[in-house]
Amino acid sequence: MRSPALLSTASSLSLLLLTLHVTDDIVRGISKAEPAEYALVVLAILVYGTLALSDKLAGEIIMLLVGLFAFLMPVMHMRGTHYPEHAASPGGFFFVWTLWALGGIGGLTIMLAVRGIWQRRAARRSGAPPIID
């Protein structure tokens, strides 16, 4: 699989896992169940950047942000004082699994996005088209 397609796939998977995890947070009472117009607009922008702008610098930057959100989600939760309680509660397996999956896929998304941005920058300096492998 080529790197741009892999980046788009990793970012899409990160977004899927993020939405599942945020939903689980709301069900558990970790996050408030309130109108989410702004969150839905942000989600739509992140999905658009991942799917429609994947071959552009703006899309790579958006996917880098997706990766950062995904990677930082387990960092925030696992440092929380109630993490052991949530992990041991009913549905705790899914809660913990999504955190681990988010960290791994988010880290991959970050690495692929940085690589794409770096290759784009190097190609611009040399005047050559970006390397797509």
Q: How confident is the model at residue 128 (pLDDT cuts 50, 70, 90)?
A: low
Average pLDDT over residues 82-106: 87
16-23 own/partner pairs: CB under 8 Å, 24+ apart = 17/70, 17/98, 17/101, 17/102, 17/105, 18/66, 18/69, 18/70, 18/73, 18/102, 19/43, 20/98, 21/73, 21/95, 21/98, 21/99, 21/102
Answer whether residue 131 shows pLDDT above 90: no
Q: What is the mean pLDDT of residues 103-123?
A: 93
What pLDDT is stored for residue 13 in this prediction? 96
